[in-house]
A = this chain, B = another copy of it.
């Protein structure tokens, strides 16, 4: 019998604010960070790794919350845990005192995501499979048992969910073979950070096209004249056939969003992303109606399944951008994928940050194999930074994620990276020259 013997939660921060990587109209100076969870077992070869993603200050709050969330796992039998990840999730989630601080949102929910991501990594490693295959090999009933369907029965019952998955059983081997051949399509955000100069923007767009990307995303929303100029550059480089996406990172009120997007519509954007508060279901619905044929995309700050349920009910989204480290891990992600499939909304997961690309590649592949069985209008985000810190870093080739083969959820950070960027004790942060950044 193998047991979980201890939990480490590490505060890891990368000084991305120094280069304006990740800069947008709302978030000008983030230091991309992770509250990183390691579940140790009495088998020295078997650990589980997971994290949630933050942009700096407050990462310590997620670390402290993850320590509290993970406490009930210590001493648990790994086989039992792997066989009932739905039960484990509900057990951790049901702590009513921590629930009060959400419920199902904010720091305590990010922490739940970190801990359960580690539990899923552990289970997939135990099975010797990459997470996408581990999930794809579960039966419809097993998947639905793992999914968090609470508060969703007005749009999706347990039986409907099982039927939906059962109907997609056929053709799975073919779909896996197809993705093993061609990868899962992705787009790049690396070109369009707001802090980049026009020259750098043009060069990065050109590089993206040369690397096989058909989609390019720009940050907008700080200054309209800048946005018009930058969209012009990008559209010129990618040509009329390329897809241009724009992302406002929540800076607008609803009327402002409609007006501003109107000024950029001539550049034919595929979608406007996060036009307003991520909580504003009815606002997104109003914007979507007003800016069509420009699509509306949102979800990286989508706090939980209840928000996504309403986004689908209100027909507020053309693209669902769930986040693998903000939703309550695979358990809640599954629920959102199931609802999206029922409502016919393509899921294009949010990625970037620290390690989100590593996670969402598994989710996208699983979606195609077992849930939506479609690639139409689907493209997963890719950002080309910080991958060097991961043991099983994702690989992108010709604008597509190469299917991961290593067991687990690709979430393990390198020991050398932890030694360098643990906050505040790692070599980088404890070095005198960086103390000023921390304040």
Contact = CB atoms under 8 A, between A and B. Distances in A.
Interface stretch (A308-316, A380-388, A403-411): A308-316
A217 B389 CA distance: 55
Interface in A96-114: 96-110
A174 interface: no
A282 B284 CA distance: 14
Candidate in A108, A150, A152, A279 with the most chain B CB atoms within 10 angstroms: A279
A277 interface: yes
A282 B61 CA distance: 32
A316 to B, nearest CB: 11
Interface string A73-103: 0000000000000000000000111111111
A57 interface: yes
B60 A97 contact: no
Interface stretch (A3-11, A27-35, A135-143, A208-216): A27-35
Interface string A4-38: 00000000000000000000001111110000000
Contacts of A153: 253-256
Candidate in A30, A65, A101, A250 with the most chain B CB atoms within 10 angstroms: A101
Contact of A151 (B27, B281, B283, B314): B283
Given A57-B98, A101-B58, A109-B106, A281 B278 contact: no
A97 B30 contact: yes
Contacts of A96: 26-30, 55
Contacts of A150: 253
A338 to B, nearest CB: 15
A417 interface: no
Interface stretch (A159-167, A299-307, A369-377): A299-307
A154 interface: yes
A169 interface: no
Interface string A107-124: 111100000000000000
Contacts of A105: 102, 105-106, 279, 303
Contact of A281 (B57, B101, B281): B281
A100 B54 contact: yes
B151 A282 contact: no
A209 B297 CA distance: 54
Contacts of A100: 27, 30, 54-56, 58
B279 A104 contact: yes
A54 B154 contact: no
A56 B255 CA distance: 41
Contacts of A276: 151
Contacts of A95: 57
Nearest to A65: B61
B253 A151 contact: yes
Interface in A193-234: none
Candidate in A107, A256, A280 with the most chain B CB atoms within 10 angstroms: A107
A108 B106 contact: yes
16 contacts: A29-B96, A30-B96, A30-B100, A54-B97, A56-B100, A57-B68, A58-B101, A64-B64, A101-B110, A102-B106, A151-B253, A153-B253, A154-B283, A279-B303, A280-B306, A280-B309
Lowest 9 A-B CB distances belong to which pairs?
A106-B106, A107-B107, A57-B97, A56-B97, A154-B254, A151-B277, A279-B306, A153-B253, A55-B100
